[in-house]
Amino acid sequence: MGAAPDPARGAAPPPHRRRSGFRLRDWRMGTKLATVLVIPTLAFLVLAGIQTRGLVGQTTALSDFAQQVGIGRQIAATVDRLQQERDRSAGELAALRRAGTGADRDAAVAALRPLQEATDRAVDELRVAAEPLADADAAWRVSYSEALEAYDQVVNIRAAVPPAVLSSDTVLSNYHRAVAALLNLLAEPSPGDDQQALTESVLRYVQLSRVKELSSRIRGELYAASRAGRYEQDDQVSLSDLRAQQLTALGAFRVAATAEQVRRYDRTSVDPAFVTATRLEERTLPTGAAEPALLSAPQWWAASEQRQELFRQLEGELLDDAVRRADDASARQLRETLLVAGGIVSVLLIAVLISLLVGRSVARAMRQLRGQALRIAQVELPLTLERLRTVDRPVGAIDVPPAVVDSQDEIGELAEAFVAVHRSAVDVAVEQAMMRRNVNAMFVNLARRSQVLVERQLELLDDLEREESDPEQLENLFKLDHLAARMRRNDESLLVLAGTESTRRWNRPVGLGAVLLAASAEIEQYQRVRHQNRTDLHVVGHAVGDLVHLFAELLENATAFSRPETVVRVVVEADGPGALVEIVDLGLGMSPGALAEANAVLAEPPAADVGASERMGLFVVSHLGARHGVRVQLRPGREGLVTRVRIPAHLLAEAPAPGLEPPAPARMLTSQVAAASRALGAATAELPVAGRHPVPQPGPPAALPVSPLTGRPLGDVAEVAPTGPPTPTGPPAAVPRPRPVPGRAEDVLTPGVAAAAGGGWFSRQGPTSSVLGVTPAPAPTPVTGGTNERGLPVRVPMAQLTSVTSAARPAVRQEPDPEAVGGMLSRFYGGVRRAEAEETTEMYLPRDEGGRRQ
């Protein structure tokens, strides 16, 4: 029995192509959505980062600028203290050079000490204020370092003032460098090219600081001359140069300053203290041939110090204005930066949130659609097809679940389209199931019709066999009888493929050996089958017919596809709680691929298709085995195949109690058949499979004894002496040539033939008394029990069996020869069919060609 792929199952799905992470079309939907979200987000972050970085840079620059401008207060205070120390040191140097006594030196030291300490304190405050600017821009840090170095030179030169060992220019030049370095540090803050207002605010107080510095130097020169009591040769030149520079610086200040600041300076310049110092200074100017006047040192110091104080106050106001502007600009820039950064973050968060919501909606819809598609493809649709593939159940309403995505977008439309495809597939499957059921109904109808005709043909053959005395004609009738029995088995095969149960049933357990003998009786080459049964197992009655059919198909293929001179061996063994039957033939065998394909069909019965008609035996065995849980497996043997049939424990039953058997068939009423019974053979064979062609193999046929009555080999069992009347003797020519007698399954399984089986043909009568090989004479008058409501006599069951005595039973009962079973049970089977039809409310009656019921 070869196997073919089931086209109803569809082709195997193609293997999944390996997913590559470098191909965009292979990316998961979540990855694609994440990419669509991440790439614009990254681009936005890059642009926003660039803009934010610029804003943060501006904010940092303005913050540093505000700090540098703010430290200008400490710088201006340091410059003011350093200017006082320088101008007073210039006067003390001039006085020491004129007098030069020790008392003067002590007085100079005492006068300069407080000024020097005030300068040191101012520098210390500057250092503390400059600590937060350690990470300021490089230019500011360089200027700050130069200012500190210059101040260190001033500290070192202080010791040279009391001894007056160095010239005034040498000592004062160190002070000038220190003050110039501090003024450069004061002018160092720069807010950038785009902050012109802040740059001008810095320039204003720097210009005023330079005016104040030049005024301080003029004060020092005049104070030194007043302490020395004379002017040096180049003092007037220096004073003229300083006054010119002061006028230039004052003009630059007036240009850079605002109108308010200019008015403020003008108000300061008309202050009495400022005017007094200015008038004193004007007296020192050379006029014509007159010498410049020498001022009183205390008077000039006091007046110039008041003017310097007015300059310092005005300088502090301008510096405070610049600091306020710088702080406002820094705070404004910080707020702008925070607003821009907050806006960027807010927009990014909103965009990401919206993208996540949209992506989540799309991903969730895709996941739901994918889950529904996989559930339909892997669970619902296969279950629906499996449900519709079952031919013995009615087709009910099949609900197609709605789409899991109810949106109005493309995904929702795709879900609706997928549901429509699912609904169409279910509709097509339902139509195919209805068509398959209609075809199965046609098969059942044709098979039933053919069964009725075959039963009638078997009845007619039984009548002709009983009345025929010509051996040649009897042999032909037996061949026709056997062909009709095979036709009936083909009809039952159609019923199996159509999902309908067989009509042949037994209501009592039957011996497994009798089941195998019955299966042998329904094949053409039954003479080649050898049975080997060492068990006393019985099969439940409802499975007897199907097991007979299953083993008949296996034995038919085993004998048809092996050499005619070989035998097929049937071995029965107990397999735990079940039974194991092996059918061994000496055929050609099968290739590994064909064997695996056939075992796959036997393991899972496929739906009936074109392949079922080509290899009906394989499909019938598969469906019968699945119906009762019988496992059939093909294995390679030494020369052919071995078919292993495992019968489960639930199909086995205990042997029934012995009872009365029905009458034996008419074809069994011969003394030779009543005396002889074939035992289990010892020859081995293999099971051939449908689809293989028998290949003749060399070797002599098995030498087996032949029955004188049937002409078939008897194996290793001798003939038993007949129990009937002696056969008349005569010359050999007078003895008729023995003919093989065909047999059927119901003849073998009848209790009268195989009492050991304990089973009986399914009927509603009780068991009858019969002796193997003896037919009791019927009662001369039927025994009745009155009449029924219609006036018909009521029969008394088994009343006619009182004439049969127990002494008529043979001492030894043996299983009958399958081919010797007669046709009485065939007629009995027809009667049972008619009785069942009469008791059912809806009975099946086939129609003839004209539409009338048979």
Tell me, which fold does domain 504-725+736-774+813-824 have in CATH?
Answer: Heat Shock Protein 90 (3.30.565)
pLDDT (0 to 100) of residue 833: 63
Q: Write the single-letter amino acid at 330.
A: S
Does the CA dihedral 586-588-594-598 come out positive or negative? negative
| Nearest one of 149, 183, 171 to 78, comparing CA atoms | 183
Burial class (CB in 10 A: 0-12, 13-18, 19+), 853: exposed
Residue 631 in 3-state DSSP? Answer: strand
DSSP state of 439: H
CB burial of residue 824 (10 Å; 0-12, 13-18, 19+): buried
Let me know: does 625 contact 602? Beta carbons within 8 Å.
yes
Q: Are 618 and 6 in contact (CB under 8 A)?
A: no
Q: What's the pLDDT score for residue 614?
A: 62
Closest by CA to 756, choosing from 661, 651, 820, is 661
pLDDT attached to residue 664: 39
Structure tokens at 617: 């035996």
**pTM more than 0.75:** no
What is the separation of C-alpha 438 from the centre of its chain, rounded to a whole number of angstroms?
A: 41
Whose tokens are 């909103």? That residue is 350
* pLDDT at residue 775 in the model: 34
- Is residue 139 within 8 A of residue 187, CB to CB? The reply is no
Q: How many residues does the chain have?
A: 854
Question: Residues in the chain with pLDDT < 70?
Answer: 1-25, 99-100, 288-290, 389-396, 502-504, 607-614, 657-854
Give bridge partners of residue 647 from the DSSP assignment.
Answer: 579
Q: What is the pLDDT of residue 701?
A: 36
Collapsed DSSP state (helix, strand, coil) of residue 438: helix
The phi and psi torsions of 270 (rounded to 5 degrees) equal -100, 10
Residue with tokens 């010892």: 682
Three-class SS state of 511: strand
Strand, coil or helix: what is 672?
helix
DSSP 765: S
pLDDT value for 669: 31
Angle, alpha carbons 510-514-517 (nearest 5°)? 150
d(CA 567, CA 699): 13
Asked if residue 509 lies in contact with residue 655, where contact means CB atoms within 8 angstroms, the answer is yes
Helix H or strand E encompassing 783: none
CA distances from 740 to 260, 475, 671, 706, 743 (A): 147, 7, 15, 11, 10
Rounded-to-5 percentages of helix, strand, coil across the chain: 60, 5, 35
Whole-angstrom distance, CA of residue 571 vs CA of residue 579? 11
Model pLDDT, residue 214: 93
Q: Give dist(CA 20, CA 107) in Å, integer.
A: 96
Spatial separation of the C-alpha atoms in residues 567 and 533, rounded to whole Å: 16
Coil/strand/helix, residue 442: helix
Check residue 503 and report its DSSP letter.
S
DSSP for residue 523: S
566: left (phi over 0), alpha (psi -120 to 50) or beta: beta
Give residue 697's pLDDT: 35
CA pair distance 743, 196, nearest whole angstrom: 126
Nearest to 199 by CA among 130, 256, 140, 142: 256
User: CB of 414 within 8 A of CB of 407?
Assistant: no
Q: Which among 762, 71, 823, 10 has a CA at the least distance from the CA of 467?
A: 823
Alpha-carbon span 265 to 253, nearest angstrom: 10
Domain boundaries of the chain, sorted by first residue: 54-343, 504-725+736-774+813-824
> Hey, is 538 helix, strand or coil?
strand
Instruction: State the pLDDT at residue 618.
Output: 84
Helix 544-560 crosses helix 616-628 at what angle (to 10 degrees)? Answer: 150
